[in-house]
Amino acid sequence: MDSIKTITTDELQKKLKNGEDLHLVDVREDEEVAEGMIPQAIHIKMGDIPESTDRFDKDKEYIVICRSGGRSGKVCHYLQDQGYKVVNMEGGMLAWEGETKPK
């Protein structure tokens, strides 16, 4: 299994502050995102990823987010195996200290 690129929450916050065009995917469950998600993120539950690959573009890189980094890591492996460019956010939303918005 190829290794997955990672990004820390601090690195992600800096990129967002710099106005970089990023593609964030939050794979947590509905009740988890109800507590708040990164404003730029789209929500696709982990279980819905296999039938949602048409929402991804193989020319773009996606930063995948979950609660602690475990589920997003699994999603990253799956998407990478399908030919997508992905980055796992280390520590997940438990480590996120930036802005959030309600879903």
Residue 100 is assigned to a structural domain of this protein: no
Distances, alpha carbon 56 to alpha carbons 15, 34, 44, 83, 85, in Å? 21, 23, 11, 10, 10
The pTM for the full model equals: 0.96
Residue 24 is assigned to a structural domain of this protein: yes
User: How high is the mean pLDDT of the chain?
Assistant: 96
Residue 59 is assigned to a structural domain of this protein: yes
Residue 102 is assigned to a structural domain of this protein: no
Cβ contacts of 80 within 8 Å, gap of 6 or more: 2, 4, 86
Residue 101 is assigned to a structural domain of this protein: no
Can you give the CATH number for the domain in which 25 is found?
3.40.250.10
Residues carrying an active site annotation: 66
Cβ contacts of 31 within 8 Å, gap of 6 or more: none
Distances, alpha carbon 65 to alpha carbons 29, 31, 98, in Å? 11, 15, 13
Residue 55 is assigned to a structural domain of this protein: yes
pLDDT one-digit tens code per residue, 1-37: 579 999 999 999 999 999 999 999 999 999 999 999 9
Q: Which domain holds residue 15?
A: 5-95
Residue 34 is assigned to a structural domain of this protein: yes
Domain count, the chain: 1
Residue 39 is assigned to a structural domain of this protein: yes
Lookup: tokens for 93 = 């939303």
